[in-house]
Structure 1
Amino acid sequence: MRHLPLLPNHRAARAAVTCRYRCGDACFHDVPNTSANPRFDDLISRRAALRAGVVVAAAGVVGTGTAACGTANAPAEQRAAGLDFDPVAPNELDEVVVPPGYEQAVVVRWGDPLFPDAPGFDFDRQTAAAQARQFGFNCDFAALLPLDRTGGAHLLVTNHEYTSEQFMFRGYDGEDPTREQVEIAWAAHGLSVLRVDQDGDGRLTPAFSDRNRRITATTPFLLTGPAAGSDLLKTSADPTGTRVLGTLNNCAGGVTPWGTILSGEENFHQYFANADELDDPRLARYGVTGAATARKWERFDPRFDLAREPNEANRFGYVVELDPHDPDSTPVKHTALGRFKHECANVRVARDGRVVAYSGDDERFEYIYKFVSTGKLRKGDSRSARRHNMTLLDDGALYVARFTGDSPASEVDGSGELPADGRFDGHGEWVPLAAGDRSFVPGMTAEEVYVFTRLAADRVGATKMDRPEDIQTHPHTGVVYCALSNNVDRGEEGRKEGATEPNPRVRNKHGQVLELTDRGGDPLSAVFSWNLMLVCGDPDSPDTYFAGYDKSRVSPISSPDNVAFDRHGHLWISSDSAGALKGHNDGLYAVPVSGSERGHLKAFLTVPRGAETCGPVIGERVVTVCVQHPGEVDGASADAPASHWPDGGDSQPRPSVVAVWRPGRRIGE
C-alpha cells in the first residue's frame, strides 16, 4: 500500500491528510493573493459609480456597533432562554457527545441506499453504479425542508464536499488509482436529497420518496447569468459555454426564501492537472498550479487536464442552485455571484423585495462579497412564482467588502490585545465590481469580472480577511454574522499582510466571528458598521475575546466554520480544526448575541476522533449536524482505521448526519 506523501512542514491544525484531500494542500502552497490592493479611489471615481446607479445607497456616517456588549458579571445561575443545557466538556472520544438528558442517532451514513433498488453498503464491494444511488461521502452543508404543515416530514438536503480515497478503499495506491475507484469518487461528490420522517420527540427516520435524488460529479448543470456563453467558459465538449458536467467540493450553502438550495463550490483548484503547461497567470490566482493531481482524475477524463481543456476550471467555483422538490430539474450555476472558492451563499430579502446574497471566499487573505438582485421576489409557492424567483440570482450587482478600523494602527499590534476603546470595530463599504454586462473594474470586462472575480476584487482594494467561511443573517435583527476560520500566515515574513483591526492577530490559529450591520439595517446599503463578537481560542489566553463576557465561564473554541440561528435568535457555531486546542475534538457551540448573556459560549456537542462538525440545522425539537471525515488522522487509512464510528466494532468510519433531541422537551429547555 502506498499512502499519499505528507509534507513535513505541515502547519495547519487539522490533519495533513485532510489538507491533502479536502483543499489540495492549499496551506502548503504560496498564498494565491499576492496583490498590494491599491485603493479603489485611485482607480475609479466613486461619483461615477454612483451615477451608474450601481451603488444602492450613498456613503455616509456609519452607525455605532451592532449590539451591546455583554456584562462580565452575569449571575452564575442565569441562562438564556433556549440554551438551558450543561456544556459538553472538551474530549477526544470516538463518539458524538451530547449534554445530559439528550438523545442522539445517526440519520444517514455514507453508502446508505436512497432508493428501493439501490444496494446496501458493502465497503469491500463498492461500485460506481451503487454509489450513484447511495448517500455520498463527507457531507458538509445540510438543510431540513418541511414537506407538510405538521412538521412530520422533511427533505434532508446535504452536499458532499470531497472524497478521501485513502479511507474509502483498502490498499489504495494514490499513484495508480483504478478507473472504478475514480468513478466511485465522482459518484460520491455532489449532493443528496432524502426524505426523513420526524416523530414527536424529534427523532428523524430516512424514507424512500419520489423526491430522493443524487447529484454527482457527472450530473448535467446549466450555467446561467451574465457570463453564460462566454468564450472563457467554452470547451470542446461544450462549445456553447452553458452546460457543465457535475459540481465539485461543495462546502456550505443556504436555503432560499423560495425553497431551493444554494451550495458553494469551494476548493475546485485541486481537481485540474497540468496548469504548468499553460501561460495563464489567472490560474495561479485561484491556486490552480502544478502538473498531476493527487487523485489522477485527468487520466480518465480529459476535462480534468487543462493542457487539453484550458477553460474547464473556469466552469467551477460558482454558487449552485438546486430545486429539491423537482427531481427532474436541471441544477444551475449562477455566474452573477462571481467565481471564487465559495464557502456559502445565504439570501436575505430587502424591504423593496430585492434579494441580497452574502458569500465568503474561503482561503487565506480572501474577501467577503454581496450580490443585490435587479428583480424582486414574488410571494407564494405557485409554479410561476417559483420559476421567476429562481432567476433572481442571474441579474444584479456584485460587490466586495472593504473594511476600515476605528482604532489607531499602533493599537492593533497583532497580539490580539483589545485597543483602547475596548473592541475591534469600525466601518466599511461595499465596492461595486459589475452589474449585468457592465464592469466597474478598470481593465476588465464584465465577463472577466464574473469569471476572475478574485482579480477584480484585488484591483478595487478589497480587504484581505482570515478565511471567510459561513455567513448568515440574524432572523430578527438583520445583522450579518461571518465566521473567519483562521490564518496562520498573517504577519509572516515576506509579502504576508500583518494584523488589521478586523483580523487582529498574527499567525491566527483560532479565528474570529464578525458582526456586520448594513447601514440602517438595510441590506441594499453601500456602507456598513462592523465589530468582532468573538476572538476565538483558549479562554485562558489573553488574546481571546467573548463579547466582553466573563471568559472563565465560556467553552474553548477554535476555527469557527458554519453558523446558524435558533428560534430565539441565538447563534450556533460549528468548529473545524479544534486540534489547534490540544485535547479537543471539534464541536457545535451556542452563544447569545444580545442581552446580559451575550458572549456566553457553550459547547452543545462534540464529534468523534478526527471528525469535523458541519452543516448545523437548529430546529425547535431537533438539532442535526454532519459529521465529516471521522477517523481522518495522519497515519490512518482503510487498512488501519483510527475510528470505528458510527457502527462500532472493527467497522470502517463513515461520514454521517446525526440528529440530537430531548425526549418530551424542546431544544435548550
Structure 2
Amino acid sequence: MNPDNKDTALFGSGDELPSNHSSNPHINELIADLGRRQVLAGGAALGALAFLGVSLPGTTQAAEQSSKALGFPFKPRTRLPFTPVAISRADSITVPAGYRATPFIPWGTPITGRYPAFLDDASNSAQDQAEQIGMHHDGMHFFPIDAQRGSGHKSDHGLLVLNHEYIDAPLLHPNGPTSVNGKRVSAEEVRKEINAHGVSVVEIRRNVRGDWEVLPSARNRRITAATPMQIRGPAGGHALLRTRYSPEGKATRGTQNNCSNGFTPWGTYLTCEENWAGYFATRDAELPRELKRYGLRSTSRFGWDTLPGDEFERFDATRKAADASGDYRNEPNHFGWIVEIDPFDPDSVPVKRTALGRFAHEGLIFAPVKPGKRVVCYSGDDSQNEYIYKYVSRDKYRPGRSDGRLLDEGTLYVARFNADSSGEWLPLDIADASFQAACASAGVSFADQGEVLINTRLAADIVGATKMDRPEWGAVHPDTGEVYFTLTNNSSRTTPDAANPRPANAYGHIIRWNEQGRGHAGTRFTWSLFLLAGPETNSRAPNGAPLDASNILASPDGLWFDDEGRLWIQTDMSGSQLSTGPFGNNQMLVADPKTGEMKRFLVGPQGAEVTGIAATPDFRTLFINIQHPGEGSTASNLLGTWPDGPGKRPRSATVIITREDNRRLL
C-alpha cells in the first residue's frame, strides 16, 4: 500500500493512521548503538560499521567466515547474470535483455460463472465482478496441480491464487461512485466494490506454444468481502465476536484489504487482512480498547455503512441494541486475521485462524518445515510503529496428516530488539507467568486467551515489544534459515541516529535475524541491518557500499527468496518519491546475501506498485503483480493506461516473466 495514501475522505486509499501511543522503545533508538559494534549478519557478514562507512573485509571472505560460523557450507557463485535495467518513468515494464514480461489476468478477466467479458467503460455489473478477477492484485502463490497435499513438482499446470488488496472506486464504475452528502446511494455500486475485493483462484496451464492461459475450470473461484467464512482458534465463539449475523461468534462474511499472503506445507493458501479498520465506522463516543487501539473512526473509507440493509449495516459498528447479538458493534473484531483457503476445493469454507493474532497482517511466512517438528511462522503489522510477531504451533507437523488445525493451537510471540543486537520473543499467552506479570504491572486484565488475541496490539504494548518502521513482507533464507523483513518507511520518526542519519525514515530498510538454538521455535535471536534504502548520498547496499545507479531504491516492500538463496526485493514508493525523487517508477531488484551484490531487475509502469511474487518449481516462469497502475486516475483523467494502451483504463495485472531462451530465470 502506497505510504503517502491517507484515509482522510470517502474513497481514500486507506493506510492506517498511527495508533500506537505506548511508551515502548522504537527500533531507531536501538540502531543508534550499532555503530559501536560489529553485528552478526548471517549472509555477507555486513555489520553496522559498514553502514557508517568503515571498510569491511572482502565480501567473499566475509561471507565464507559467516557461513562457516553458522554451520552451513559456503558455495562461491558468479555474480547475478543479467545487466541491470535503468531507472525509468515510462508507462511500461522494463526487464533485462534476454527476458520478456507479458501481462496476464488483469482486473476484470472472466474466470468463473457466466465468464462475463470485461467492458472498457467499466459498466460491468456487481454479479459480473463476482465472476471476474478482482482489482489491485497483491500477494500471490502458484500451486502446482499435483500439490493438493503439499509440495508439487509440475511447472506447466497449476493454480494461481492472488489477493486483491483494495479498489480505486473512480475507475471501478463508468463515471466513478455516486454519493450524496457523504452517503452512498447505489447498492449495486457498493456490491460491485465488495466483489472486487478478496481473492481469486485461477487454474492456468502452459500451452504447446509455451504461453500461459486460463482454463475454464471448476476450481476457478472468487472469494470476496461477502463470502461466508468460519472463525476458529482461541477467539472463535468469543463474546467479543458475537453479532446479529453470528450470535455464537463463529461465523462471518468476507475478507478485505488482503495484502501479502502465505502458503502452508499442507497445500492451502493464506490471505492476510491488512488495513481493514477503515472499512468500518462507529459513532460511539467511547470506544472499547479492541476498536480504539486499531484506529476506528466515525467515518469509513468507502461509506458502505451508510446504505440500509444488513449486508451494508454490518460496516457500522455503532452500538444500537441492548447487546451484541442485536447490532454490529463487534463486526470489526471479525477482521485483522489470517484466512486459510483450500484452493483445490471450490466448495470449502475459508477459515479465519485467530491463534495467529489480530492486527494489520502484511503476510505470513513459514520457517523451514520439518516432519516431527513444530510449525513456526512470522508476520508483520504494517502500520507505523507497530510490531513483528512469531507463531509456534503446539503440535508437530506430520506430512500427509497435518492440516490447518496446527494454526489453532500454539503460542503467539512479539519481538523485542535489544540494543546489543540480541532479541527476544515475548509470549502473548495468558497462561505464561511473564505475561501475567506484565499485565499486572500495566494494570490491564484479559478474561481469556481469546480476548488477548482480539487485543493483540494491546498485549504487545504491555510486554514491551519494539516499535518498528512499518514491518511488511518477510522471507526466510532457504539455506541458512535467516529471517529477513522489510521496514518500508516511517514518516513519524523524527530523531536521527548513527546508522540512519535522517530526520525521518522516508526510504526504509531491511532487517534480518538469526534464531538462536536449533530450529526457529526458540525465544532468542541476534539481529542486524541488511540494507539501508535511499539516494546514493544516504544509503548502504548489502555489500556496505552506497547504492548506485544499478540498485538505488526506496520503500522496500515485497520480499522473496528463490531456491538458490537470492533475495528478490520489490518497492512501494510514495507518490512524492515517484514524481520528484531520483528513484523513477517502482521496481524489483535481486540481491545475493552471500556476496552483497544487488541489481535492478525490473521497473514497473507509471503510478504502480510492484508486488506479489511466485515461481514455478522449474524456475522458468516468474509471476509478479502490478498494482494500481496509473494511480489517481479517473474515468475522465487517465494518469496511465497500462496494460491495454492509449485511451484504456489502467488495470492491475499479473506479469509473467520468462527468458527468451526458455531456460531458468537465473
Distance 1:446 1:216, change over 3 A: same
Distance 1:665 1:126, change over 3 A: closer
- Map of 1:359 onto structure 2: 379
Distance 1:17 1:298, change over 3 A: closer
Measure how far apart 1:350 and its partner are. 5.4
Does residue 347 (structure 1) correspond to residue 366 (structure 2)? The answer is yes
Identical positions, percent: 38
Q: 1:133 aligns with which of 131, 134, 148?
A: 131
Contact kept? 1:336, 1:396, Cα under 8 Å: yes
Q: 2:521 aligns with which of 520, 524, 533?
A: 524
Distance 1:336 1:210, change over 3 A: same
Distance 1:606 1:275, change over 3 A: farther
Q: 2:273 aligns with which of 240, 248, 265?
A: 265
What is the aligned length? 593
Distance between the aligned counterparts of 1:338 and 1:116, measured in 2?
Answer: 35
Distance between the aligned counterparts of 2:365 and 2:659, measured in 1?
Answer: 29
- Paired amino acid for 1:395: E
Q: Higher mean Cα deviation, 436-445 or 247-256?
A: 436-445
Measure how far apart 1:21 and its partner are. 5.2
- Paired amino acid for 1:611: A
Q: CA RMSD in A?
A: 2.7
Contact kept? 2:452, 2:459, Cα under 8 Å: yes
Q: Higher mean Cα deviation, 199-208 or 515-524?
A: 199-208
- Map of 1:214 onto structure 2: 222
Does residue 24 (structure 1) correspond to residue 14 (structure 2)? The answer is yes
Q: Higher mean Cα deviation, 229-238 or 341-350?
A: 341-350
- Alignment deviations for residues 422-478 of structure 1 (CA, whole Å, 9 cap, x no partner): xxxx11000011168996452223222100100000000000000000112111111
Superposed, which structure 2 residues align to 1:68-217 within 5 Å? Answer: 68-69=44-45, 81=78, 83-115=80-112, 117-122=114-119, 123-148=121-146, 149-172=153-176, 173-174=178-179, 175-177=182-184, 178-198=186-206, 203-217=211-225
Measure how far apart 1:615 and its partner are. 0.6
Measure how far apart 1:624 and its partner are. 1.3
What SS is found at the alignment partner of 1:283?
Answer: helix
Distance between the aligned counterparts of 1:455 and 1:503, measured in 2?
Answer: 28
- Paired amino acid for 1:147: I
Does residue 397 (structure 1) correspond to residue 406 (structure 2)? The answer is no
Distance 1:389 1:19, change over 3 A: farther
Q: 1:37 aligns with which of 19, 24, 28?
A: 24
Measure how far apart 1:18 and its partner are. 11
Measure how far apart 1:293 and its partner are. 4.0
Distance 1:191 1:501, change over 3 A: farther
Distance between the aligned counterparts of 1:577 and 1:625, measured in 2?
Answer: 17
Contact kept? 2:393, 2:409, Cα under 8 Å: yes
- Alignment deviations for residues 549-601 of structure 1 (CA, whole Å, 9 cap, x no partner): 4644641111111111112110001110165234510011110011xx31x22
Superposed, which structure 2 residues align to 1:149-548 within 5 Å? Answer: 149-172=153-176, 173-174=178-179, 175-177=182-184, 178-198=186-206, 203-300=211-308, 301-307=312-318, 308=320, 309-349=328-368, 352-380=372-400, 385=401, 388-406=402-420, 426-434=421-429, 440=436, 442=439, 443-444=445-446, 445-491=448-494, 498=495, 505-520=502-517, 522-538=519-535, 540-548=536-544
What SS is found at the alignment partner of 1:514?
Answer: strand
Distance between the aligned counterparts of 2:144 and 2:626, measured in 1?
Answer: 22
Does residue 659 (structure 1) correspond to residue 648 (structure 2)? The answer is no
What SS is found at the alignment partner of 1:154?
Answer: strand
Contact kept? 1:15, 1:632, Cα under 8 Å: no
- Alignment deviations for residues 157-179 of structure 1 (CA, whole Å, 9 cap, x no partner): 00111111012223323535421
Q: 1:66 aligns with which of 42, 49, 62?
A: 42
- Map of 2:31 onto structure 1: none
Contact kept? 1:399, 1:430, Cα under 8 Å: yes
Contact kept? 1:186, 1:218, Cα under 8 Å: yes
Distance 1:86 1:592, change over 3 A: same
Q: Higher mean Cα deviation, 190-199 or 233-242?
A: 190-199
Distance between the aligned counterparts of 1:563 and 1:126, measured in 2?
Answer: 34
Contact kept? 1:369, 1:398, Cα under 8 Å: yes
TM-score, normalised to structure 2's length?
A: 0.84
What SS is found at the alignment partner of 1:605?
Answer: strand
Q: Higher mean Cα deviation, 434-443 or 230-239?
A: 434-443
Does residue 622 (structure 1) correspond to residue 624 (structure 2)? The answer is no
What SS is found at the alignment partner of 2:105?
Answer: strand
Distance between the aligned counterparts of 1:132 and 1:652, measured in 2?
Answer: 20
Distance between the aligned counterparts of 1:256 and 1:19, measured in 2?
Answer: 38
Measure how far apart 1:187 and its partner are. 0.5
Distance between the aligned counterparts of 1:321 and 1:293, measured in 2?
Answer: 26
What SS is found at the alignment partner of 2:225?
Answer: coil
- Paired amino acid for 2:589: Y
What SS is found at the alignment partner of 2:115?
Answer: coil
- Alignment deviations for residues 267-322 of structure 1 (CA, whole Å, 9 cap, x no partner): 11111012444432442211112235443444241110111411100110001111
Measure how far apart 1:606 and its partner are. 1.2
What SS is found at the alignment partner of 2:429?
Answer: strand
Distance between the aligned counterparts of 1:66 and 1:89, measured in 2?
Answer: 30
Q: Higher mean Cα deviation, 317-326 or 617-626?
A: 617-626
Distance between the aligned counterparts of 1:651 and 1:543, measured in 2?
Answer: 38
Contact kept? 1:578, 1:584, Cα under 8 Å: no
What SS is found at the alignment partner of 2:266?
Answer: coil
TM-score, normalised to structure 1's length?
A: 0.83
Contact kept? 2:259, 2:274, Cα under 8 Å: yes
Measure how far apart 1:63 and its partner are. 9.1
- Paired amino acid for 2:161: V
Distance between the aligned counterparts of 1:629 and 1:265, measured in 2?
Answer: 18
Contact kept? 1:105, 1:659, Cα under 8 Å: yes
Measure how far apart 1:203 and its partner are. 4.0
What SS is found at the alignment partner of 1:159?
Answer: strand
Distance between the aligned counterparts of 1:278 and 1:156, measured in 2?
Answer: 44
What SS is found at the alignment partner of 1:520?
Answer: coil
Distance between the aligned counterparts of 1:566 and 1:23, measured in 2?
Answer: 31
Distance between the aligned counterparts of 1:358 and 1:501, measured in 2?
Answer: 28
Distance 1:161 1:552, change over 3 A: closer
Distance between the aligned counterparts of 1:565 and 1:198, measured in 2?
Answer: 24
Distance between the aligned counterparts of 1:465 and 1:201, measured in 2?
Answer: 47
Superposed, which structure 2 residues align to 1:553-564 within 5 Å? Answer: 554-564=550-560
Contact kept? 2:607, 2:629, Cα under 8 Å: yes
Contact kept? 1:259, 1:323, Cα under 8 Å: yes
- Alignment deviations for residues 326-377 of structure 1 (CA, whole Å, 9 cap, x no partner): 1111110111011000001112255542101100000000000001001111
- Map of 2:150 onto structure 1: none
| Structure 2: unaligned runs, 5 residues or longer | 27-37, 47-55, 61-75, 147-152, 321-327, 440-444
Does residue 631 (structure 1) correspond to residue 634 (structure 2)? The answer is no
What SS is found at the alignment partner of 2:460?
Answer: helix
- Map of 1:45 onto structure 2: none
Measure how far apart 1:213 and its partner are. 0.7
What SS is found at the alignment partner of 1:262?
Answer: strand
Measure how far apart 1:641 and its partner are. 1.1
Measure how far apart 1:254 and its partner are. 1.1
